[in-house]
Each structure stands twice: as C-alpha cells, then as structure tokens.
Amino acid sequence: GSQRPRPRVLLKAPTLAEMEEMNTSEEEESP
Amino acid sequence: RQVTVQRKEKDFQGMLEYHKEDEALLIRNLVTDLKPQMLSGTVPCLPAYILYMCIRHADYTNDDLKVHSLLTSTINGIKKVLKKHNDDFEMTSFWLSNTCRLLHCLKQYSGDEGFMTQNTAKQNEHCLKNFDLTEYRQVLSDLSIQIYQQLIKIAEGLLQPMIVSAMLENESIQGLSGVKPTGYRKRSSSMVDGENSYCLEAIIRQMNSFHTIMCDQGLDPEIILQVFKQLFYMINAVTLNNLLLRKDVCSWSTGMQLRYNISQLEEWLRGRNLQQSGGVQTMEPLIQAAQLLQLKKKTQEDAEAICSLCTSLSTQQIVKILNLYTPLNEFEERVTVSFIRTIQAQLQERNDPQQLLLDFKHMFPVLFPFNPSSLTMDSIHIPACLNLEFLNEV
C-alpha cells in the first residue's frame, strides 16, 4: 500500500548471439 | 525434526539460496542432466519455478553478479541440452515449456503493473525488489523462438515420411480400390517400396503423442495451437505438391479418399479442442484440390463452378490438376483442351503467384502471449530425486 517501491536497476544482458560467441570462445580456450 | 519442518513451512518466502560455487551443480542437476520423466507427477515447469526462486534470492540480496551468472549459465545449459537432444521431441518440448515459464515468471514478478493484474497479494510479495531483467527477458524470448523452431523441425521430420502414403495412397474407404484409374492400380509411390506405407491412423497417433507430451509438460495452450497450425500447413503443402506432380493420384477416387482423410484430421482437431489453431484453414488449398478432382469438368457451368470454388488454388495449380486428371475407366472422358482454355480465360484476371508448388518449409511467425501462473512460489516442493539438497529455502 503506502510503501512506494524504489526503481529497479536495469541489468544489461548480452544478446543470445553474443552469449553464444562468449560460450564458444570459452570452450575453445579450455583444453 | 518436527520443529524444523514447522519452521520451514511458516517461514518459507519462496526464495532459494545457494553458494556461488554450487551454481554449476545446480545447472547440471536441474538443466543439463535432467530427464523430463523424473518430474512426472510434479508441478509442470518445476525447473523454471526453481530457477526463478534462485534468481529472486540473488535479487533479494542485491547480488547483480549472481543474477547475471545464474541467468547466463541457465541459458547456456538449456542450449547445450537442446543441441545434444536435437531430435528428441519430448526433451525439446520440455525446455520450450520451461523457458517460456521462466520468461512468464520474469514478467509476472517484474513489478511492472501491466503484468501483475492477475496476481494475488501473496504473489505480489514475490516480485523482484532490486533488478529490472527486461534485457534477459528478451534473451529468453529469442531462445524460446529457437526452441520452438527446433520442436517444429523434429515434429515435421517425424510426420513427413508418413504424409504421401497416408494422405494420397492409402485406401481406407471400402470399395474405392475398384475405381482407381486403370494402369495405376498397383503403383504405390515412386520412392516407397511398400514397406514404408502408412495409413492416416499413423499420422493421428503421432499427433496424439505430440499433443499429450506438450499438455503434460504444461506448454502454453497458445503455443500448442501454433504447433498444430504449422503441422497442418506442412501436411497440406507436402500432399498438394505430390498431387501436383503425380498423374496416378489425380483421380476422382483419390479426391474422395483425400476429402475423407482431411475430414478425419478436422475431426481430430475438434476432439482435442484444437479447432482454434487455424489448422483446417491452412488446408484449404488441399480441400479445394480434393473437390476439384470430384467436380464435373465438361460444360461452361462446370468451369464457372470450379473457378468460384477454387479460390485458394492458383490458376497454374488448377490447370495442372486438370491436365493430370486421369479418368477412372473408359466411360469417363479426359478433361478437354477447350475446357482448360475456358478455365484459363475465366481466371486470367487473377493475380496469382507464379510458382506451382507450395513452400512446405514455410514457417508462420510464432507468438508467446503472456500467461501468468496461479501457483504461489512458497507452495512449491522440490523432490529429492533432483539432488538439490544444497538449495536452502528462505
């Protein structure tokens, strides 16, 4: 009721394609 | 022991806490190594709810790195499972249900009033406090589209080998085999040796299986409707394309069998309460082709009837079917050249597409309407078989 929630902080996210790239490069780095 | 249980029931606020170093184990047990069968008898989309409760705790403790890390690992975990099981309908449907449910949770508990209209007061207590995850919702929405496309590809792959024999070759109407065009009676398909022959019942059995799996897994009803619209379109396109290329099936008797088969598929949609899918509408070209095979094709009036009926077939397709049309016996005449010219003259004002065949790989764009859940987080029980005892209820 009376409590007004404070604004939430936007969490930036990579796109699905960017996530894929990051994941692929991590896999390549690991032996 | 009793005291512990009572305390948990009283205090559980629908959040799950874990140590950062257990994240990999969480993803392994809940995503990458999970078998959907393990969860039969539990709440549909349980992994999605568990993941939301973990996200909520990380949000509650204002730990943005933990939220980032968990969402990224979840999305990568789901993609890994899908890649490994890229021909498994059940697994793909399971992760489509869960990805959509997680997306719905991130909306329902976002704190955005537009998504809270159906929430109970208790559900409103379970909203995120610190973070706006709009960008992650976009990623989950994109992932849902990818999973949907994989699901359709798997379903089409299972159905496609059945379509020609079930829709065009198999004779389920008694006595119809006696009225097949002479000279073609024993032919099946040019590519099928008889062993790979299917009846319509096989298609229906397969669709029953798809439908049961998707319903049991709690996939949104709107998505299930779109799956069947897409599959009915494919059945329509594959059947019509074959009809347009094969003289032996362009006959009155195939027209009759085809119309009967389509009515069985319509009946199936009604029986499963899927008539809203628009599946029947996507079959309109095939319905008209079946009628065209059965109509008289001789007089000016016949030509007019054909032109007013076949609105979903192009001029090129109508003419092709008339050219291929094979009389049943010596008493039935071939379609004359002048009759075909009459039809062409009547249809010349139509602005029809030029290609003869339908694109059977065409995909309708998919939509994932928001579907909030009436479930409350603190009522969710985590079964022991998931091996998630390291999650603490908060």
Ordered per-residue pLDDT tens for chain B, 394 residues: 444 444 445 578 999 999 999 999 999 999 999 999 999 889 999 999 999 999 999 999 999 999 999 999 999 999 999 999 999 999 999 999 999 999 999 999 999 999 999 999 999 999 999 999 999 999 999 999 999 999 999 999 999 999 999 999 988 877 666 666 555 544 444 444 456 789 999 999 999 999 999 999 999 999 999 999 999 999 999 999 999 999 999 999 999 999 999 999 999 999 999 999 999 999 999 999 999 999 999 999 999 999 999 999 999 999 999 999 998 777 778 899 999 999 999 999 998 888 999 999 999 999 999 999 999 999 999 999 999 999 999 9
Read off the tokens for B36.
């959907």
Closest residue of A to B132, CA-based?
A10
ipTM surpassing 0.85: no
Cα B267 from Cα B261, distance rounded (Å): 10
B334 φ/ψ angles, rounded to the nearest 5 degrees: -70, 160
- Scan for tokens 């999970």, then name that residue: B34
Cβ pair A19:B134 closer than 8 A: no
Report chain B residues whose CB lies below 8 A from the CB of A7: 132
A19: nearest CB among B76, B111, B129:
B76
Cα B129 from Cα B121, distance rounded (Å): 15
Eight-class DSSP state of B391: P
* Nearest CA-CA partner of B56 in B123, B120, B119, B5: B123
Cα B232 from Cα B291, distance rounded (Å): 18
Closest residue of B to A1, CA-based?
B121
Read off the tokens for B24.
């990999």
Cα B290 from Cα B293, distance rounded (Å): 5
